[in-house]
Amino acid sequence: MKLEMRGLSIDWLIEIIHLCIERIVIVDHNGIIVYIDEAYCEFIGTTFDDAVGRPVQEIIENSRMQIVAKTGEKEIEHLQPINGSVMIANRYPIFIDGKLVGAVGTVIFPDPDNLRHFKNKMSNLLEELNFYKNKAVNELTSKYSFDDLIGNSQAFIEAKALGEKVAGNESSVLVTGESGTGKELFAHAIHQNSMRSHFPFIAINCASIPEVLFESELFGYEDGAFTGAKKGGKEGLFKVANKGTVFLDEIGDMPLSMQSKLLRALQEKEIQPVGGQKTIPIDLRIIAATNRDLTKMVEDGTFRQDLYYRLNVINIEIPPLRDRKEDIAAISKKLLQKLERKFYRKGTVLSPKVVMRLEGHKWPGNVRELENVLERAINVLDGTVIKSEHLPLYIRDQEINQREEEFSMAESTSTLDLPAVKPLKVTIARAEKRAITHALEIAGGDKLAAAKLLGIGKTSFYDKCKIYEIR
């Protein structure tokens, strides 16, 4: 449908052009200027009458309008130096009834005020870009040093000393220990103390990456490598971390199919992006961590033996928190300092009774569980002293289990045949524990089904399992 500009005179069109931020020039098929707006003339130091009818390259510095008028190929966002300033030029061919008759060109920011506005805008964009660039760089650096690893127990001191000793080397390190013991903190500290500390540190959780995406995440992919691939391809994490350190957390959960590719990358010191034909050299140090028994996995055939020996050059074993209870007070103090920044508090301390309670707990979740308990306490705290009532129920009531053990020992050593009388609280706790254990046996270990059998909610069931330390 052909549109008509009813009542729109040539004067209207010229005025509209003047109001536009772009400055406009129009040439015929031979590159001769047929129209140029007054603001453009003023900027380049000429007049309308002097410019019209002359070749565009004689009037406008570095113009390519005559080329576009001949080739019919548009040129978008070209940088064009004019009068000591760099303009952004757009050039479009003009076709009438399918015939190339000329070209129209625009440049933006010829006006000094607009140029200043453009420079200010570009300056703001560059500042924003630098902000996100620095943020990205900071996220690729280690966040902890050996000073952040708190503990005076002998086993922990030995693990920390070994980490400090091997940090300056290039050998692979395997950090082992239960979940929540602080394996990633050790990896951060080793990188921080190494010759690679000025290069990226990238932590990769092997348990969180779907198997089908593993290779492309680690090694990257080329443009069009698979359906849904990002245009232009994507750099893999190994390339991003080049010259730095890669921390492979939960290495025991890496798919067997990926283990051979990882081994080759470490041996050959090169990677091949998915869909790519060329290999890319890499220079990395690998720190791996796991809470699983890799030796048994090797025996079972679920973890490659050659990869195990490649990773396990230096083994640092972090002791669980239950084996270093003398460190709990010092670790708690460090964690409280961290939590105070998060909750805008100051001067928070533990009461002596709370310290005794914390030292009496077995900490199946290790330091991560301790931090969780302290965060819960600081959320419900009114003053500055954390007391027993601020602790979770399963730690507050842990004396139930202790008393139960004491009475069991007394019963086993008693020479009397008469049944020992136990406090009602202990008797109820024992009955609850037996009922939960029995329900789990019937449900085949399914906790949700066991909770339904007992007629209690899932949350209540899980809380009781924690109290009675039922796995």
Closest alpha carbon to 265 in 290, 293, 292, 236: 236
* Amino acid, res. 164: E
Q: Judge contact between 355 and 367, C-beta under 8 A.
A: no
Domains of the chain (ranges; CATH) run 10-113 (3.30.450.20), 146-317 (3.40.50.300), 322-396 (1.10.8.60), 415-467 (1.10.10.60)
Q: Judge contact between 269 and 281, C-beta under 8 A.
A: yes
pTM of the model: 0.59
Strands 280-281 and 173-176, bridge-based pairing: unpaired
DSSP 444: T
DSSP 48-100: HHHHTTSBHHHHSTT--HHHHHHH---EEEEEEEETTEEEEEEEEEEEETTEE
Q: In Å, how far are 92, 135, 301 from 71, measured between CA atoms? A: 10, 46, 66
What pLDDT tens digit does each residue of the chain (471 aa) get?
344 555 667 777 777 777 776 789 999 999 999 999 888 898 889 999 999 999 999 999 999 999 999 999 999 888 888 877 778 889 999 999 999 999 999 987 645 555 566 666 666 666 766 665 555 555 677 888 999 999 999 999 999 999 999 999 999 999 999 999 999 999 999 999 999 999 999 999 998 888 888 899 999 998 877 776 777 788 889 999 999 999 999 999 999 989 999 999 999 999 999 988 899 999 999 999 999 999 999 999 999 999 999 999 999 999 999 999 999 999 999 999 999 998 888 899 999 999 999 998 999 999 999 999 999 999 999 889 999 899 988 888 765 455 445 444 544 444 444 455 666 767 787 888 888 888 887 777 888 888 888 888 887 888 788 777 787
Closest alpha carbon to 347 in 339, 355, 359, 358: 339
Q: Which residue in this structure is represented by tokens 């007629």?
A: 455
- Compute the residue count for the chain: 471
